[in-house]
């Protein structure tokens, strides 16, 4: 443990947990690079197409427009704002540790605040205007589908996997991963930000509101100190650090898959907002992601065929 | 608090006689090495057993780092030149009395005999939480004990903080900033020259260091350009007792004047931030202005714009304000 966690001695020579060690950051960077390079080599060795595959669509396809809206403008603005803030957070967190020094703290907490605001917006937008469940849910059929995909990736003898709905299983898994990791980083980050100077509050290392809630006030009207900053803060720093290094790997993987030629239609969907009919038919199952005149609706997670003429059209992403 | 013992932990002592040898030793020992100049900061650390270097590289035998060279473009001061030499140097006294004044305010005559200019500006902060061995931010930890509401922070910073609120303790640092000194820093593969105000860094940039010096870097020379020779200077240091004490606040100012009008100015304050603070706003105010009481008062007021005191050091705001006011008023 001592290799991955950082301890410092206090004046009584007691070891106090401080955070994660630099080695963990280097490990995350190495793992991210290994994953990207390894995936690239393995993909090539398996003979998978390095180019985007499109369906050969002759003539018109009834009910399917030429352009299919994948992400609405508000969703795209959210995505890129969140992505930019995440990149700024990672750069300001780790680049100074790699030796390029600059005044990073203010940039870091402002980027964190932007991330929190974008996530609040995303949650409200998803609940009120989007089909939140379609991005979050994972049923037994999804897992079976994912296993089929996995088997096909490992063995060329395995049958072609089923096409997914709008959000493939791996996207949903990634989304859940990002939710857990980001929330861990955000909650601990807010606690850490309370200890630094911002225009909004006086810094306080001791979290007096927590102490007040736990132990009340002392005889002179100050919160009783119950949480020694050394130990408690160390845990906050460890969680923040682990979330941070996990995000290095996750963001690297996300960018890698976004710019891979065979997955480029996802990137274009997030830039332009739409994919074309050929991409849609090549990569998605119309029964699971049905499209009617440019309006799009997501089938229930089991992948049951949706009757788009019956279901109320709903714009989601 | 820290347990002070008579004996310092054992270390391997190296006494190189050239800068190249010193740099090679520093590279060899990396973060386990410790560069010793006058030893006045170092031995405190060692005796308190807060710092336990494996190897100490004593620069005392390197002659090329000692002495003051009169150059056409100013003075070239070796980093190992003692403060007493600076105080007594004829040209320093005649053309750059600001530096002599500042050096003379360092501690005691005995300490100035031993202490060096390089050591004085490279010394670590005197925050007692840090120096007592608390695992604070500056020590590699995750807490500033001095910034807490319950902390004793009378001597700490009112501006320039970022998590850490320790102040730079050097008396000569603000004078060097005011004189626009240039610091030569040598590593094994490179040599860089920094403006004095860039030589000192704040915790926002690196919370564990007070200067640009990284392990393996050696401050070799401080150049005082002739541009500010014979300017009108003002230096004042306020401390708790008349001798042998660190500053609470100090001001060093250099003015080029024409009659009562300030044509150019460089003003720096120390003791209020983790680095000597150059007062750009005050300089902009006074340059081109005729000095009167109103100008001095306004200069003092804006010198503390943006500062935010801790629980016990609010007094540093009026103290800074008054010192800057006096510096500007001295031109009249």
Q: Please report which confidence band the pLDDT of residue A138 belongs to, taking 50, 70 and 90 as the band edges.
A: confident
Kindly identify which residue of chain B lies nearest to residue A238, measuring between CA atoms. B142
Identify the CA nearest to B122 among candidates B209, B250, B189: B209
Q: Please report which confidence band the pLDDT of residue A56 belongs to, taking 50, 70 and 90 as the band edges.
A: low
Cα-Cα-Cα-Cα dihedral of A278, A282, A288, A289, to 10°? -30
Average pLDDT, chain A: 80
Kindly identify which residue of chain B lies nearest to residue A204, measuring between CA atoms. B148
Most confident of A203-207, B3-7, B270-274: B270-274
Q: Do B162 and A103 touch (CB under 8 A)?
A: yes
- Integer distance in angstroms from the first to the last C-alpha of chain A? 42
- Integer distance in angstroms from the first to the last C-alpha of chain B? 49
The torsion angles phi and psi of B183, rounded to 5 degrees, stand at: -105, 125
Average pLDDT over residues A22-27: 93
Which one is predicted more confidently, A2 or A146? Answer: A146
| pLDDT for residue B314 is more than 90 | yes
B22's tokens: 């010193």
Residues of chain B positioned with their CB less than 8 A from the CB of A229: 142-143, 145, 148
| pLDDT for residue A71 is more than 80 | yes
Average pLDDT over residues A272-281: 86
Q: By three-state DSSP, how is residue B311 classified?
A: coil
For residues B124 and B153, the answer to whether their CB atoms sit within 8 Å is: no
**In the Cβ-directed half-sphere of A162, how many Cα atoms lie within 13 Å?**
21
Task: Choose the mutation target among B132, B143, B190 for the interface with A, i.e. most A CBs under 10 Å.
Answer: B143
Q: Do A206 and B147 touch (CB under 8 A)?
A: no
The CA distance from B40 to B123, in Å, is 9
* Confidence (pLDDT) at A304: 34
Could you tell me the strand order of the sheet in which B277-278 lies? B232-238, B249-258, B261-270, B277-278
Q: Please report which confidence band the pLDDT of residue A226 belongs to, taking 50, 70 and 90 as the band edges.
A: low
Kindly identify which residue of chain B lies nearest to residue A195, measuring between CA atoms. B163
Which one is predicted more confidently, B221 or A6? Answer: B221
The torsion angles phi and psi of A297, rounded to 5 degrees, stand at: -140, 150
Q: Please report which confidence band the pLDDT of residue B3 belongs to, taking 50, 70 and 90 as the band edges.
A: low
Least confident of A259-263, B148-152, B275-279, B323-327: B148-152
Average pLDDT, chain B: 95
The CA distance from A313 to A134, in Å, is 15
Q: What is the pTM of this model?
A: 0.82
Average pLDDT over residues A224-231: 58
Average pLDDT over residues B28-32: 93
Q: Would you give the distance in Å from CA A11 to the centre of its chain?
A: 41
Q: How does pLDDT run across B94-109, given as a tens digit for each residue? A: 999 999 999 999 999 9
Q: Do A9 and B2 touch (CB under 8 A)?
A: no
Residues of chain A positioned with their CB less than 8 A from the CB of B204: 103-106
Which one is predicted more confidently, A276 or A153? Answer: A276
| Matching residue, tokens 């993987």 | A253
Tell how strand B68-71 and strand B261-270 pair up: unpaired
* Confidence (pLDDT) at A134: 67
Q: How does pLDDT run across A77-89, given as a tens digit for each residue? A: 999 999 999 999 9
The torsion angles phi and psi of A262, rounded to 5 degrees, stand at: -75, -10
| pLDDT for residue A307 is more than 50 | no
| pLDDT for residue A185 is more than 80 | yes
Q: Which residues of B171-189 are buried (b: 16+ CB within 10 A; e: fewer)?
A: bbbbbbbbbbbbbbbbbee
The CA distance from B75 to B64, in Å, is 15
Q: Do B150 and A222 touch (CB under 8 A)?
A: yes
For residues B120 and B170, the answer to whether their CB atoms sit within 8 Å is: yes
Residues of chain B positioned with their CB less than 8 A from the CB of A8: 135, 139-141
Q: Do B135 and A9 touch (CB under 8 A)?
A: yes
Q: Do A102 and B1 touch (CB under 8 A)?
A: no
Instruction: Report the residue from B142, B163, B308 with minimal CB separation from A234.
Output: B142
Least confident of A29-33, A169-173, A178-182, B189-193: A169-173
Q: How many CB atoms lie within 10 A of CB B291?
A: 20
Kindly identify which residue of chain A lies nearest to residue B311, measuring between CA atoms. A202
Q: How does pLDDT run across B75-91, given as a tens digit for each residue? A: 999 999 999 999 999 99
Cα-Cα-Cα-Cα dihedral of A204, A210, A215, A219, to 10°? 30
Q: By three-state DSSP, how is residue B160 classified?
A: coil
The CA distance from A102 to A183, in Å, is 26
Q: Do B135 and A16 touch (CB under 8 A)?
A: yes
Q: Do B133 and A9 touch (CB under 8 A)?
A: yes
Q: Do A11 and B161 touch (CB under 8 A)?
A: no
- A interface with B, Cβ–Cβ below 8 Å: 6, 8-11, 16, 18-19, 96, 101-106, 195-197, 202-206, 208, 222, 225, 229-230, 233-234, 237
| pLDDT for residue A52 is more than 70 | no
pLDDT > 70: percent of chain B: 98
Least confident of A111-120, A215-224, A282-291, B255-264: A215-224
* A-B Cβ pairs (cutoff 8 Å, strict): 77
């Amino acid at each position: 443990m001592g290799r991955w966690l950082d301890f410092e001695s206090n004046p009584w020579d007691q070891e106090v947990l401080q955070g994660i060690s630099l080695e963990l950051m280097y490990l995350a960077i190495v793992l991210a690079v290994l994953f990207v390079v390894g995936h690239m080599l393995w993909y090539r060795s398996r003979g998978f197409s390095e180019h985007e595959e499109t369906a050969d669509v002759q003539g018109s396809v009834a009910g399917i427009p030429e352009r299919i809206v994948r992400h609405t403008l508000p969703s795209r603005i959210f995505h890129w704002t969140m992505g930019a803030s995440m990149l700024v957070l990672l750069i300001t967190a780790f680049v100074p540790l790699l030796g390029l020094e600059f005044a990073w703290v203010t940039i870091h907490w402002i980027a964190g605040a932007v991330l929190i605001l974008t996530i609040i917006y995303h949650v409200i937008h998803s609940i009120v205007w989007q089909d939140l469940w379609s991005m979050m849910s994972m049923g037994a059929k999804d897992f079976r589908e994912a296993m089929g995909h996995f088997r096909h990736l490992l063995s060329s003898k395995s049958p072609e996997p089923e096409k997914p709905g709008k959000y493939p299983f791996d996207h949903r898994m990634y989304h859940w991963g990002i939710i857990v990791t980001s929330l861990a980083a955000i909650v601990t980050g807010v606690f850490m930000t309370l200890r630094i100077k911002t225009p909004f509050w006086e810094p306080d290392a001791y979290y007096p509101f927590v102490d007040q809630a736990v132990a009340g006030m002392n005889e002179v009207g100050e919160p009783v100190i119950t949480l020694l900053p050394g130990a408690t803060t160390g845990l906050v720093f460890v969680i923040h650090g682990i979330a941070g290094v996990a995000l290095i790997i996750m963001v690297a993987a996300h960018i890698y898959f976004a710019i891979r030629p065979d997955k480029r239609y996802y990137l274009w969907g997030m830039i332009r907002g739409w994919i074309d009919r050929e991409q849609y038919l090549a990569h998605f199952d119309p029964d699971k992601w049905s499209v009617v005149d440019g309006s799009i609706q997501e089938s229930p997670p089991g992948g049951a065929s949706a009757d788009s003429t019956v279901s109320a059209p709903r714009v989601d992403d | 608090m820290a347990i002070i013992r008579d004996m310092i932990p054992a270390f391997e002592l190296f006494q190189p006689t050239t800068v190249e040898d010193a740099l090679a030793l520093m590279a060899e020992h990396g973060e386990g090495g410790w560069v010793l100049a006058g030893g006045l900061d170092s031995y405190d650390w060692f005796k308190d057993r807060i710092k336990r270097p494996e190897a100490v590289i004593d620069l005392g035998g390197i002659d090329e780092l000692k002495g003051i060279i009169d150059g056409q473009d100013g003075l070239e001061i070796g980093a190992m030149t003692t403060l007493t030499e600076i105080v007594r140097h004829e040209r320093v006294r005649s053309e750059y009395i600001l530096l002599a004044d500042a050096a003379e305010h360092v501690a005691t005559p005995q300490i100035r005999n031993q202490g060096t200019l390089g050591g004085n500006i490279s010394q670590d902060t005197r925050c007692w939480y840090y120096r007592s061995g608390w695992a604070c931010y500056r020590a590699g930890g995750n807490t500033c004990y001095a910034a807490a509401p319950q902390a004793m922070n009378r001597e700490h910073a009112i501006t320039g903080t970022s998590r850490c609120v320790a102040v730079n303790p050097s008396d000569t640092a603000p004078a060097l900033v005011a004189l626009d000194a240039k610091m030569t820093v040598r590593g094994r593969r490179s040599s860089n020259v920094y403006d004095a105000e860039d030589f000192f860094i704040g915790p926002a940039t690196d919370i564990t260091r007070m200067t640009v010096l990284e392990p393996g870097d050696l401050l070799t020379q401080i150049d005082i350009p002739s541009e500010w020779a014979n300017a009108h200077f003002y230096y004042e240091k306020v401390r708790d007792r008349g001798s042998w004490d660190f500053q609470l606040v100090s001001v060093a100012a250099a003015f080029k004047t024409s009659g009562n009008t300030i044509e150019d100015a460089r003003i720096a304050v120390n003791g209020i931030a983790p680095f000597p603070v150059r007062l750009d706003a005050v300089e902009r105010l006074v340059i081109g202005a005729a000095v009167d009481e109103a100008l001095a008062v306004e200069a003092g007021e804006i010198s503390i714009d943006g500062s935010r005191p801790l629980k016990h050091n609010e007094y540093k705001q009026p103290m800074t304000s008054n010192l800057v006011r006096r510096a500007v008023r001295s031109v009249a």
